[in-house]
């Protein structure tokens, strides 16, 4: 079951789950449900110029990404959060595109992992 993943690292998930498959499944299912919401909300908040809500959503998404070892995605989400808080919107669309690709990639990998669990 040790697969080489491009987007995720399951080390932290293994650590916090203590090998409990049901707990792992639950966390993965929550993440899979949240990803489309995170992406949609961040795009909408950016479009509506709701910087405070964008910062909060990026912060929440960062926490979820880090559970699955997505360190670089977490850093990018933190950058989006800080930029939004600092009213620096210009770089955010490109960063959001990158995060969306990574979160969707992680979702595919976790869906595959879940089938083998």
Global pTM value: 0.93
Neighbour tally for 24: CB within 10 Å: 20
What string of pLDDT tens digits covers the 117 residues of the chain? 447 899 999 999 999 999 899 999 999 999 999 999 999 999 999 999 999 999 999 999 999 999 999 999 999 999 999 999 999 999 999 999 999 999 999 999 999 999 988
Query: 26-29: long-range contacts (C-beta < 8 A, 24 or more apart)?
Result: 27/67, 28/110, 28/113, 28/114, 28/117, 29/114
| pLDDT score, position 117 | 87
DSSP 50-108: -HHHHHHHHHHHHHHHHHTT-HHHHHHHHHHHHHHHTT--TTHHHHHHHHHHHHHHHHH
Domains in the chain, ordered, with CATH? 11-116 (1.20.120)
């Amino acid at each position: 079951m040790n697969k080489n993943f491009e987007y995720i690292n399951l080390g932290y998930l293994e650590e916090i789950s203590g090998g409990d498959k049901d707990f792992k499944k639950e966390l993965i299912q929550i993440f899979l449900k949240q990803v489309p919401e995170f992406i949609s909300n961040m795009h909408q908040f950016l479009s509506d110029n709701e910087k405070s809500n964008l910062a909060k959503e990026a912060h929440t998404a960062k926490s979820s990404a880090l559970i699955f070892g997505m360190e670089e995605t977490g850093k990018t989400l933190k950058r989006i959060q800080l930029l939004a808080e600092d009213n620096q919107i210009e770089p955010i669309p490109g960063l959001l595109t990158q995060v969306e690709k990574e979160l969707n990639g992680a979702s595919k990998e976790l869906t595959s992992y879940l089938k083998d669990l």
